Amino acid sequence: MTKEKPSPLKPSRLWKAGILLAFVVFLFLFPRMSSSNYIVSIGVTFCTFACLGVSWNIIGGYAAQISWCHSSFVAIGAYTGFLLFNHFGISPWISVFAGTGISAVAALIIGSISFRLRGPFFSLCTIAFAEIMRVWLLFQKNLTQGANGLVITFKQESFVNLMFRKDDAFYYILLVMLILYMLISWLLQRSRPGYYLRAIKVDEDAAESLGIKTHRIKLFAFVLSAVMTSAVGTIYAFFLTYIDPASISSMDLATRIGTMAVVGGAGTLFGPMVGALALVPLSELANVLLGSSGSGMLLYGGLMIIVIIFRRGGIVSLFSGDGAPVPALLKKLRGKGQAKNGGDSGA
Amino acid sequence: MLAQSIFNGLVMGGVYALIAVGLTIIFGVMKVINFAQGECLMLGMYAAWALHRATGLSPYILIVPVMTVMFLIGQFIFSLVINPIVGRPPTDFVVVTMGLAFVLVSVIQLIFSPTYQTVVTTAKNITIRLGSVSLGTPRVIACGVMIAAVLAVRLFLKKTDVGRAMRATAENLEVAQMLGVNTRRNFALAFALGVTMAGLSGLLLTPIYYVFPNVGMPFKTISMVIVVLGGLGSIGGAVLGGLIAGVVEAVLGAYISPDLAPAGIFLILILVLAFRPEGMFGKGARKA
């Protein structure tokens, strides 16, 4: 991705491009290195969550509007894909667009209502929407089978219907999506709306006074984010072959998606991917050590708190050095009396 | 039937209102939402359950000890995770308290296992009859305690020096600081008070509900809806919002489907935000 940058090639930049190229090559060769389907399935999970994190980052990172309903968009994509396939035999490659359309409309509605207000209203509204979605999926028993969830049965290997004997194919599909998403994110970052979003993050009033239509820009980012999330949802569901509201439309999943970006570095291009790279293997490990009784969420919750308190810039900031304010602990050690309540707009 | 569900809704709404009042106190003073409020309710339920197991006393006698425990837990949580991020952008609170919610659930799950626990009281088997309407005693007690707690909080905020300092902090942070109010201590107090309210609601729920780690989630979302309905920061609005939410839930549950009842409340939220974004009682009501 960075290798396409037209800017002069400084040595440090060359280094970064080299590392990135090596990483992309590694990602492409990854399934060849192991014969174990389990390892590849972790790779699939990584690509999925990296994609979801990149999508979340567009609204939650660049614009700092924390959404807790991205699991609902995953669910919309997943359920649309399954229902259209089970009832009409429509290929997921087509139903992806149906799912993204529904998600876009949903995001448009939530966004246009909640972005009129500042502060925590957006986050509150997303939680409400996520709950409506989950309850509705549970309620529509003859359509969604309620809590029992939906399954698709494997018939034969088929690219059109996204059915593969081995997970390699899913891995490559999602990897290509990840690269595509990173490109979208990169283009957004360099475009006018991208600058607007970051201006909104730093100071919404100032942004508005400069003539930025903050409501419209936030709405655009949220819809884009929802569409991207929903598309991943459809593909990921065909990888899982089983979906139910408890797993795919839960607050757990919504938080997990947010954690990827926050831990990696919210509002940065590589943050969400780095977050997924660190967290997906870590949570596999935690499941092995602690048992998958749901206590794996301790990891996500704990890391979220630790990163925000001590290193707001996430893992990425350890390398770039920017975007990370002085850790609060240091500030505390320097002098407890310092009043920091005054300025509330500083990032 | 309608009268029955309205009364059911009103008493359940009392419990919702109590959680929402806790949320309101925190928002009023700190201007942030505690996304772990439902999990604090869960802690309250576990505190009541554990003390009930240890002493064999009815949870209603344990109100004072449980509230003390919850206040201390609130202070502890504040100094551990909230204090370091005071003054940061509000998104930090959203993320940290959400993370806190998951940490609390996981820790409780690891300690007590995810099994459902019960607290047995004699009050559960007694129903109160009002004409054709019959109400479970635990719910009526819960509603009564809610009213008492809200009145106590109001009195505290209006009549005591600490309460006045808290209101000053809520009104204007900088001016309060200039006048020598220790705003950080007020933040801690408000947070702990909010957590205590959630814990008290948890205790009141123990005779009616099972105690398990994830119990807080629905209460959390409903209380958030309520504070928005009532207009953020208004205690009176939170109480009214709670009662409305309770009634809507009960009526929808009785006439359409209990599964769909929460969705109705959220739908109301979205409608209210669309047409009256400052909340139904956003103006006129006293701020915490």
In a domain, B285, yes or no: no
All residues of chain A having their beta carbon less than 8 Å from the beta carbon of residue B218 are 131
Query: SS3 for chain B, per residue?
Result: CHHHHHHHHHHHHHHHHHHHHHHHHHHHHHCCCCCCHHHHHHHHHHHHHHHHHHHCCCCCCCHHHHHHHHHHHHHHHHHHHHHHHCCCCHHHHHHHHHHHHHHHHHHHHHHHCCCCECCCCHHHHCEEEECCEEEEHHHHHHHHHHHHHHHHHHHHHHHCHHHHHHHHHHHCHHHHHHCCCCHHHHHHHHHHHHHHHHHHHHHHHCCCCCECHHHHHHHHHHHHHHHHHHCCCEHHHHHHHHHHHHHHHHHHHHHCCCCCHHHHHHHHHHHHHHHCCCCCCCCCCCEC
Q: Provide mean pLDDT across the span A130-153.
A: 85
Task: Closest CB to A298: pick one of B31, B106, B184.
Answer: B106
More reliable by pLDDT, A5 or A43: A43
pLDDT, position A246: 85
pLDDT, position B6: 86
pLDDT, position A101: 95
pLDDT, position A10: 61
pLDDT, position A11: 64
Write the CB contacts of A19 (distance below 8 Å, at least 6 apart in sequence). none
All residues of chain A having their beta carbon less than 8 Å from the beta carbon of residue B109 are 293-295
**What is the domain extent for residue A237?**
23-334
Write the CB contacts of A203 (distance below 8 Å, at least 6 apart in sequence). A345
Which chain B residue has the Cα nearest residue A262?
B95
| A333 has pLDDT over 70 | no
DSSP A252: H
Helix axes B235-255, B216-230, angle to 10 degrees: 120
Tokens encoding A246: 């408890």
Mutation site for A-interface testing, chosen from B24, B82, B98 by largest number of A Cβ within 10 Å: B98
Mutation site for B-interface testing, chosen from A56, A57, A62, A66 by largest number of B Cβ within 10 Å: A66
Residue from A219, A237, A284 nearest A256 by CA = A284
In a domain, B33, yes or no: yes
> Given its phi and psi angles, is residue A328 left (phi above 0), alpha (psi -120 to 50 degrees) or beta?
alpha
Lowest mean pLDDT segment, chosen from A27-31, A170-174, B25-29: A27-31
Write the CB contacts of B175 (distance below 8 Å, at least 6 apart in sequence). B168
Contact A121 B257 (CB under 8 A): no
In a domain, B283, yes or no: no
Residue B211 β-bridge partners: B117
Residue from B269, B229, B231, B263 nearest B249 by CA = B263
| A323 has pLDDT over 60 | no
pLDDT in tens, A254-268: 988 998 898 888 888
Note whether B161 contacts A: Cβ–Cβ < 8 A: no
Q: How far is B9 from chain A (nearest CA, A)?
A: 19
Contact A125 B92 (CB under 8 A): no
| A59 has pLDDT over 60 | yes
pLDDT, position B123: 67
Q: Provide mean pLDDT across the span A329-347.
A: 43
Q: State the CATH number of the domain containing residue A161.
A: 1.10.3470
What is the C-alpha to C-alpha distance for residues A157 and A41, in angstroms, rounded to an integer? 17
DSSP A345: S
Task: Closest CB to B263: pick one of A66, A132, A345.
Answer: A132
| A5 has pLDDT over 50 | no
In a domain, A340, yes or no: no
pLDDT in tens, A189-203: 899 888 888 888 888
All residues of chain B having their beta carbon less than 8 Å from the beta carbon of residue A297 are 102, 105-106
In a domain, B288, yes or no: no
Cβ-contact B261, A132 below 8 angstroms: no
Tell me the one-letter amino acid at A19. I
Q: How far is B264 from chain A (nearest CA, A)?
A: 8
Task: Closest CB to B109: pick one of A68, A129, A293.
Answer: A293
Q: How far is A23 from chain B (nearest CA, A)?
A: 30
| A49 has pLDDT over 50 | yes
Which chain A residue has the Cα nearest residue B36?
A301
Q: Which residue has the tokens 């205590």?
A: B196
Residue A163 β-bridge partners: A158
Give the total number of structural domains in chain A: 1
Contact B103 A345 (CB under 8 A): no
Task: Closest CB to B98: pick one of A304, A343, A344.
Answer: A304
Residue B136 β-bridge partners: B127
In a domain, B280, yes or no: no
Its ipTM equals 0.83
**What is the domain extent for residue B232?**
2-275
pLDDT, position A223: 95
Q: How far is A329 from chain B (nearest CA, A)?
A: 7
In a domain, A2, yes or no: no
pLDDT, position B48: 92
Q: How far is A331 from chain B (nearest CA, A)?
A: 9
Note whether B95 contacts A: Cβ–Cβ < 8 A: yes
pLDDT, position A329: 44
Burial of B128 (0-12, 13-18, 19+ CB in 10 A): middle
Mean pLDDT per 10-residue interval, chain B, length 288 residues:
83 88 88 90 93 87 92 94 87 89 89 82 71 77 86 88 86 84 87 93 88 87 84 84 88 81 79 75 44
pLDDT in tens, B191-245: 999 999 999 999 988 888 888 888 888 888 888 888 888 877 788 888 888 988 8
What kind and span of H or E run contains A150? strand A150-151
Give the total number of structural domains in chain B: 1
Note whether B81 contacts A: Cβ–Cβ < 8 A: yes
Greatest CA separation found in chain B?
58
Note whether B35 contacts A: Cβ–Cβ < 8 A: yes
Q: State the CATH number of the domain containing residue B209.
A: 1.10.3470
- Cβ-defined contacts of A87-95 (< 8 Å, 24+): A91/A160, A91/A161, A91/A162, A92/A161, A92/A162, A92/A234, A92/A235, A92/A238, A93/A160, A93/A162, A95/A234
User: Cα B271 to the chain's mean position, in Å?
Assistant: 23
Say how many CB pairs under 8 Å bridge A and B. 154
Write the CB contacts of B188 (distance below 8 Å, at least 6 apart in sequence). B75, B78, B79, B83
Which chain B residue has the Cα nearest residue A204?
B89
What is the C-alpha to C-alpha distance for residues A112 and A28, in angstroms, rounded to an integer? 40
In a domain, A136, yes or no: yes
pLDDT, position A3: 47
Which chain B residue has the Cα nearest residue A253?
B102
Note whether B128 contacts A: Cβ–Cβ < 8 A: no
What is the C-alpha to C-alpha distance for residues A218 and B215, in angstroms, rounded to an integer? 34
Cβ-contact A316, A274 below 8 angstroms: yes
In a domain, B36, yes or no: yes
Residue from B155, B170, B140 nearest B234 by CA = B170
